[in-house]
Amino acid sequence: MAYEHKDIEEKWRAEWAKRGTYKVASDPSKPKYYVLDMFPYPSGAGLHVGHPLGYIASDIVARFKRHNGFNVLHPMGYDSFGLPAEQYAIQTGQHPAKTTEVNVARYREQLDNIGFSFDWSREVRTSDPSFYKWTQWIFLQLFDSWYDHAAQQAKPISELLKRFETQGWHHADACALTGDVEEELGAFTAAEWNAFDERTRQRILQHFRLAYLSEAWVNWCPALGTVLANDEVKDGVSERGGHPVERKRMPQWSMRITAYAQRLLDGLDTLDWSESIKEAQRNWIGRSEGALVRFKLKDAAGDIEVFTTRPDTLFGVTFVTLAPEHELVEVITPADRREEVMAYVTTAKNRSERERMADVKKVSGVFTGAFCIHPFTGQEVPVWVGDYVLGGYGTGAVMAVPGGDQRDWNFATHFGLPIIAVTEGADISKEADERKDATISSEGFLKGLKVPDAITRAIDELVKLGAGERRINFRLRDAAFGRQRYWGEPIPIYYKDGVPYALPESELPLKLPEVDKFLPTEDGEPPLARAANWNYKGHPLETTTMPGWAGSSWYFLRYMDPHNAERFASPEAINYWQQVDLYVGGSEHATGHLLYFRFWTKFLHDRGWIPFDEPATKLVNQGMIQGVSAIATRSQFKTNFETDGPLIPLIDGRRIEPSSPTTGFGRFFISADLLGLIDFAKASVADERNVTHLPLDIRFVNSGIVDVSQMILGESREDIRSGVYLCLNGFIKDGVAKRYLNDNEINVEGEIVFRVESLVEKMSKSKFNVVNPDDIIAKYGADTLRLYEMFLGPLEQSKPWDTNGIEGTYRFLKKFWYLFHAGSSSDAPVASTLRVDPPHITDEAPTKAELKVLHATIKKVSEDIEKMSFNTSVAQFMIAVNELGALKCNKRAVLEPLVITLAPFAPHIAEELWEKLGHSTSVTLAPWPKWDASHLVEDSFSYPISFNGKTRLQLEFPIALSKEEVEAAVLANPEVQSKLGGQPPKKVIVVPKRIVNIVV
């Protein structure tokens, strides 16, 4: 009779594996559907209940689509290159491949327990040479490509060479140069190109390749011995480990993602992604329209280039500020100012980016002594250096308009520089006016124009004067691609005379070599430099490896054809499976993975390898499941013991006496309900440090009450094991509860229980609040876990995990099971229910009420899955079971379709019941039931009758009645009449099948 989840789930997991139930192949006769989860990095900690949330949701959709006739690709794999395995390798000497293998096995075991419909025959691992062969191959394609801005497309380098050979390179083409890391490239003719030596040619080509090597400002992290990407640096320290990061110029592999800035931006409009992710990407790309303005130097050749979004404020320029790193600083500073200026530059430069960012309030700068010429007025404008201008961004110089920009205003005010009002109605004595809908008021030809018109006019004038032009600037930077690390894809490049060359395709995969240690060499070379024979035909190989995002930028393609040895995936497979129809993962990847993922897809499209240029049409971000930490308060009482003995004073004047401490000090854990009763003033807690908060392991906490005796057995922290736990009416020491030694129990009744406060925060080992899905599954089963995770709330929302609530979904499954077995002959509990527990199903025709429940459920669940509103579908299942239980329904015609609708959510129990209903094939093959609206039609409706919008009573009328008939019937009702008190209603609103509102 009982619902034995363990037997059922083990049986079906084995059966699915044996039958290959979830294996999938291209099948042109069926429509395809591609459901993808962001694959996990297999960490040593294993999965906690938060990880599978998205996987369960996508699994439900995958199963639902299968029932609806789609051929569903639903794969899983591992992002198995990464820092933690390498850190572990450095500490222990254990090869990261080994650790990764162990962790993957553990992940697989945990994932299998949850009953996902993954086609494991398609598993990929980014650290597998058969996979990273193609990551390297794509790298070579990028190395062999340049971006033709005129055509808005990546093209082979060979085409560029032809162009150079016949046309050379002209400054007019210079817009092809993108990114922030190139040096100035001069124009050359075809004849010059043909005369260049190999070295020169290769150096020039680096300016065009989409994967390129150049001197770049990088985030160098000395502690990690590596370079970090911009998005791996948070607040000036490394995201992982929190080590300081400094700006350093060094040779660096980069990806020219900036070439795609406009397309990455435009593409967002075509995607069904959450607005917040799209917005984050828009911000990250950071397109701004404005003008490049050149200020001629007064006493030197050349000019200062400035980018501004507000050329309309040019008449408000009172000075120009250069970043301390700006190369002109040295050039223009006159000798008599040199000492002072260079001293400032040195300090400003040495301040880390972190300090400069943290210190917004402090204004610092110095006058160079040089002047430049205002392009419109011809007046002299002083040139300053200020550290509020960053060298790495834009041109590293700003035209300062203190009347229109707050930072410039701060700088001008601090140094007493003139401030000109640029807009009508601005009060420049208090702050700058940054409004973009103002009218220009500064003297000159822009006066009286609205800002947008003034911008256009200003640019026109700049162009006429040759002093500037329209310019679109992107915040997006080229992506650093090399890491001074071992555990990543080797970059398939070798060096001849210091010039990088592509390794021939036939040499791929370039496998990771064995090294004696996973650390940088003594002279700071990356670990790969330790490898013996790390060269190609005598030429040294590249020693940096690829970053984490390389493999994840294209893995979705490999799943389509994971064992192909000839190509990253066959054209047939790609043409069949196309884009990902539903991609599920965390929103923390908004500007990292999800941008590179789109970038590589666009690139592969440009070069003709794939027919689409966006990887995933729909993206859903699951929320985070937070942990609930159990926080215990611990205090060290002092001094009172010396005079009063081991008594703890309470605010009502009484004292409680736990077992006597041997010294004059006592360290106690205090139950949350006792906390407010202790008189901490009298207890003379020396200082705040004597009251501390410690997280207890939530495995020993139930509804806020700690099982202290169990906890001290399983606890590794000594202070927790040996602690004295003060409760309301006694204390617990060494796991034994005792009454207080004096008669001052606050409450002599009841058990001595220790309570903790709960705190919702990130689930993590260090907070002792991790819930392992394996434990939940052992107790309640995977089907219960799946249902409960969905039942917690909307998928995209973050929510705390509370194991206590799981009983509800477990009870639901037991009731569902009972529907099939109520009145069954074998009512006695038996060890295994699988064969001996016959179902009790009849073939009788269902009643109207039963059909209504069934069809309402099919309708609601079908619609909810499409909307990814899983919590409401689970609620509907509960309603159905409660109602069918009350109707004592055990009819096949009702239960059979219900099993199919439940199958995507709780596949194990559904398979078992499906089999019991007499089917020999898997429930996953059953077609999705259709709901029939005719079963949902009601004969009558109970109208809420409201007066002025407030519901007062209910009246039932046939739905066939017209508005007028309902109104008449309502007004004829004696109760309504008495409420009206003889007054005629002002108005009566009847909304059929909804409400009646009487206005009085």
Partner RNA sequence: GCCCGGGUGGUGAAAUGGUAGACACGAGGGACUUAAAAUCCCUUGGUCCGUAAGGGCUGUGCGGGUUCGAGUCCCGCCCCGGGCACCA
Residues of this chain, 877-936, that bind RNA according to CB under 7 A: 878-879, 882, 886
* Residue 151 exposed, middle or buried by CB count within 10 Å (0-12, 13-18, 19+): exposed
Paired tokens of 222 = 């000395």
H or E segment to which residue 397 belongs: strand 397-400
Cβ proximity to RNA: between 921 and 951 the closer is 951
360 interacts with RNA by CB under 7 A: yes
CA distance 144 to 88: 36
Stretch that binds RNA, among 253-261, 391-399, 484-492, 672-680 (CB under 7 A): 391-399
Residues 645-704 that bind RNA (CB under 7 A): 703
Residues 109-138 that bind RNA (CB under 7 A): none
318 interacts with RNA by CB under 7 A: no
Paired tokens of 480 = 């650093």
Buried b (16+ CB within 10 A) or exposed e, 30-50: eebbbbbbbbbbbeeebbbbb
- Cis previous bond, 509, omega within 30: yes
Work out how close the CB of 946 gets to RNA at its nearest, in angstroms, rounded to a whole number.
Answer: 7
Work out how close the CB of 965 gets to RNA at its nearest, in angstroms, rounded to a whole number.
Answer: 18
- Binding marks (x or -) toward RNA, 970..989, rule CB under 7 A? -----------------x-x
For residue 601, what are the CA distances in angstroms to 149, 264, 265, 955?
Answer: 18, 11, 14, 61
CA distance 788 to 804: 11
Residues 841-860 that bind RNA (CB under 7 A): none
**Site for RNA (CB under 7 A): which residue of 233, 531, 917, 995?**
995
- Number of C-beta neighbours around residue 275 at 10 A: 8
**Please, which residues bridge with residue 621 across strands?**
585
**Site for RNA (CB under 7 A): which residue of 108, 149, 247, 407?**
407
Residues 699-728 that bind RNA (CB under 7 A): 703
Are 724 and 732 within 8 A, CB to CB? yes
CA distance 931 to 888: 22
Stretch that binds RNA, among 23-31, 86-94, 191-199, 306-314 (CB under 7 A): 306-314
Cβ proximity to RNA: between 198 and 975 the closer is 975
- Binding marks (x or -) toward RNA, 172..211, rule CB under 7 A? ----------------------------------------
CA distance 334 to 773: 70
Cβ proximity to RNA: between 589 and 607 the closer is 589
Stretch that binds RNA, among 162-170, 441-449, 556-564, 942-950 (CB under 7 A): 942-950
Q: How many residues does the chain have?
A: 1000
Work out how close the CB of 799 gets to RNA at its nearest, in angstroms, rounded to a whole number.
Answer: 4
Stretch that binds RNA, among 221-229, 246-254, 767-775, 991-999 (CB under 7 A): 991-999
Give φ, ψ of 829 to 5 degrees.
-65, 135
Work out how close the CB of 641 gets to RNA at its nearest, in angstroms, rounded to a whole number.
Answer: 37
Work out how close the CB of 433 gets to RNA at its nearest, in angstroms, rounded to a whole number.
Answer: 13
**Site for RNA (CB under 7 A): which residue of 567, 872, 887, 961?**
872
Residues 764-803 that bind RNA (CB under 7 A): 791-794, 797-800, 802
347 interacts with RNA by CB under 7 A: no
Cβ proximity to RNA: between 16 and 273 the closer is 273
Cβ proximity to RNA: between 308 and 729 the closer is 308
Work out how close the CB of 981 gets to RNA at its nearest, in angstroms, rounded to a whole number.
Answer: 13
Cβ proximity to RNA: between 214 and 591 the closer is 591
401 interacts with RNA by CB under 7 A: yes
**Site for RNA (CB under 7 A): which residue of 64, 118, 388, 409?**
388
Stretch that binds RNA, among 412-420, 423-431, 555-563, 944-952 (CB under 7 A): 944-952
Binding-site size for RNA (CB under 7 A) equals 87
Residues 459-518 that bind RNA (CB under 7 A): 473, 475
Stretch that binds RNA, among 386-394, 662-670, 714-722, 749-757 (CB under 7 A): 386-394
389 interacts with RNA by CB under 7 A: yes
Cβ proximity to RNA: between 395 and 924 the closer is 395
Residues 53-112 that bind RNA (CB under 7 A): none
**Site for RNA (CB under 7 A): which residue of 47, 111, 370, 399?**
399
Work out how close the CB of 278 gets to RNA at its nearest, in angstroms, rounded to a whole number.
Answer: 8
For residue 320, what are the CA distances in angstroms to 307, 309, 366, 974?
Answer: 12, 15, 12, 84
**Site for RNA (CB under 7 A): which residue of 329, 400, 569, 630?**
400
Of residues 265, 305, 287, the one with CA closest to residue 469: 305
Work out how close the CB of 401 gets to RNA at its nearest, in angstroms, rounded to a whole number.
Answer: 6
Stretch that binds RNA, among 195-203, 269-277, 516-524, 534-542 (CB under 7 A): 269-277
Of residues 729, 718, 721, 723, the one with CA closest to residue 633: 723
Work out how close the CB of 517 gets to RNA at its nearest, in angstroms, rounded to a whole number.
Answer: 34
Work out how close the CB of 688 gets to RNA at its nearest, in angstroms, rounded to a whole number.
Answer: 22
Residues whose CB falls within 8 Å of the CB of residue 786, separated by 6 or more in sequence, listed in order: 56, 59, 60, 114, 115, 905, 906
Per DSSP bridges, beta strands 71-73 and 32-37 are parallel
Residues 804-833 that bind RNA (CB under 7 A): 804-805, 807-809, 811-812, 814-815
Are 879 and 855 within 8 A, CB to CB? no
290 interacts with RNA by CB under 7 A: yes
Ranges of beta strands (E only) in 31-125 are 32-37, 71-73
Stretch that binds RNA, among 54-62, 279-287, 678-686, 779-787 (CB under 7 A): 279-287
Residues 218-247 that bind RNA (CB under 7 A): 231
CA distance 458 to 837: 86
**Site for RNA (CB under 7 A): which residue of 350, 377, 826, 948?**
948
Cβ proximity to RNA: between 117 and 803 the closer is 803
Reduced 3-state DSSP string for 493-559: EEEECCEEEECCHHHCCCCCCCCCCCCCCCCCCCHHHHCCCCEECCEEECCCECCCHHHHCCHHHHC
Residues 541-600 that bind RNA (CB under 7 A): 587-588, 590-591
Q: What is the DSSP letter of 739?
A: -
Cβ proximity to RNA: between 317 and 648 the closer is 317
H or E segment to which residue 471 belongs: strand 468-474
Cβ proximity to RNA: between 580 and 753 the closer is 753
Residues whose CB falls within 8 Å of the CB of residue 772, separated by 6 or more in sequence, listed in order: 46, 47, 48, 49
166 interacts with RNA by CB under 7 A: no
H or E segment to which residue 112 belongs: helix 96-113
* Residue 927 exposed, middle or buried by CB count within 10 Å (0-12, 13-18, 19+): exposed
Residue with tokens 């900036």: 258
Reduced 3-state DSSP string for 157-216: HHHHHHHHHHHCECHHHHHHCCCCCCCCCCCECHHHHHHCCHHHHHHHHCCCECEEEEEE
**Site for RNA (CB under 7 A): which residue of 117, 395, 544, 553?**
395
Of residues 224, 311, 670, 287, the one with CA closest to residue 476: 287
Work out how close the CB of 768 gets to RNA at its nearest, in angstroms, rounded to a whole number.
Answer: 20
CA distance 12 to 914: 12
